[in-house]
Amino acid sequence: MPEMFWLELILVFECMFIPNALPSYKWHKHYLEHIFIVLAVAGIYWTVVTKTMINHEVCFLIFMVALFVTTYISSIRILKTNDNF
């Protein structure tokens, strides 16, 4: 389990900063919501892994899919923002 910690941490940071490549005037509120969602998914994952006997590899795959799906949805939502500054 400790050997996967760094990979998990890299995935969380990657998912947090993918929408950061979008134009900065579009991501103020939605980007903060995205960071909260990614951190919540990571917190739930680490709680499940440490408190249950579920296979860690299966949990990791579910965690990875959840992170990428939330990042994809957040990126689309940020791009659809019509704020004019």
Q: Tell whether 16 is covered by a domain.
A: no
Residue 65 belongs to a domain:
yes
Instruction: Count up the domains in the chain and report the number.
Output: 1
17 falls within a domain:
no
Domain annotation covers residue 50: yes
* pTM higher than the cut 0.95: no
Residue 85 confidence (pLDDT): 45
Grade residue 64 by pLDDT with cuts at 50, 70 and 90: confident
Torsion 5-56-42-16 (CA) sign? positive
